[in-house]
Amino acid sequence: MRKLVAVAAVALVVLGGSASAGSPRPELAGLVTADDVRRHLIAFQDIAERHGGSRAAGTPGFEVSAVYVERRLLAAGYTPRVERFRFPYWREKASAFLGLEPERRYARGTDYATLGYSGSGDVTAEVEAVDVPAEGGGSSGCQMRDFTGFAVGAVALLQRGGCLFRAKAVRARRAGASAVVVFNGPGREGPVRGTVGRPLPIPVIGAAREVGVALAEAARRSPVRVRVRVKAVSGTRSGANVLAERQGGSGPVILAGAHLDSAPGSPGVNDNASGAAALLAVAQRLTAVGPLRRTVRFAWWGAEEVGLRGSRHHVAELGAQARRTIALSLNFDMLGSPNGVRGVYDGDRSLGVGTPAPEGSAAIERLFREHFASRHLPAAEQPFDGRSDYGPFIEAGIPVGGLTTGTDGSKSKAEAKAFGGTAGEPFDSCYHVPCDRVENVDRALLDSNADAMAAVLQRLATAR
């Protein structure tokens, strides 16, 4: 029954569904304008500037952002609902990363960054590389067997990739690590930035690839001692999701979501005011397309940057019966990366990497790819890597899909040829840092993605 309900709406559209009979409907993609989206982007940036430079979960900047969305929905005729939840709060107060033999002081923000929910501590110990291959690959701490022979008390040096940061850090601690350093994988610029999801009792930092590779090579030749110091505070704070529905027929619900919070210290205009603004513009214009055959639920998720807290809370609170009413979940995260691609989530897993998505996800991918093809626009597949709000829906067995334009990974030569931009440079060099402002956003890329969001959502909600 779960599979039949889950794929019903998608199958109707992809396998021969057509628009509802009657007078021609206006095209939602034509109603949603670039200026609609840009007005919301500017508003979100202004909110960040008035509240300490960010819209991070648990801060006034986020709360005002949520009020902004709620008021715009009310003005558009919706009855929005604010879904509150509690989440673990964490803030870094100070940190340092030093090489002692030979002596070197690594620069915060350039050579290393502290991962969210790192524990506090001041550790001086030898570095031990864990399953770190010379050229990518390897599980590097994703399995306990990687730590066979690990010296208790050492600093675990791990390469990014293969599993979540938390999984690596938890296994390192179980093996006796006193601190963890996760360095970037091939083709990624700058230090690893991210979170371990919830508090851990040992320091966990992310390092730039060149720093990690140099430490791993040096440690293979002779003992290398480092100092890792983190001072952080943690607790719990209140978060919120903003939800609104446009009622349709009695069939399953189409859910469309984007996270509303920014990373700490960043106004988060591309990540992810771009997705939130486009979703809000689409919601405002959806009322003009006439009756829907399926209910559309819009969601602006809170606390995505600290472990997908808002979407996880929503899915958990639904209960088994309510989950069965959701046909699919669309996710829109970072829609205007300045060196980006037009990325469609890989529902059919043709890339052969990432988390397998539930049945029905391939059909969602096909809808987006058909839309871009109809506009003669290139599109690229993006794996489900667990870093956005589709994750809880995958775990619940709900088909997922959506759009993204790239985070801190580097653009390939093939992608540069297809989309323009610069090969070897990050998709978004302002990812999670203060320069993620309105001028950081590729307006043409954002506009084409907003059109795709509108077109696919209308097709799913109105097809017979």
Look at residues 34, 62, 32, 37 and name the one whose alpha carbon lies nearest to residue 50. Answer: 62
H-type alpha helices, 16-144: 28-31, 34-50, 60-75
Residue 141 tokens read as 């701490």
Q: Is 74 helix (H, G, I), strand (E, B) or coil?
A: helix
Cα dist from 69 to 145, 190, 238, 246, 319, whole Å? 47, 33, 18, 15, 26
- Give me the residue label for tokens 């808002």: 310
Residue type, 69: V
What is the separation, in whole angstroms, between the first and last Cα of the chain?
A: 21
C-alpha distance from residue 53 to each of 48, 266, 306 (Å): 5, 6, 18
DSSP β-ladder status, 121-129 and 225-246:
antiparallel
The question of whether 245 is a catalytic residue gets the answer no
Beta strand 103-105 with 81-100 is: antiparallel
Contact between residue 316 and residue 396 where contact means Cβ atoms under 8 Å apart: no
- Considering 70, 92, 128, 304, which one is annotated as catalytic? 304
* Residue located via tokens 């795709």: 452
Cα 2 from chain centroid? 26
Nearest by Cα to 56 from 380, 288, 305, 257: 305
What residues act catalytically?
304
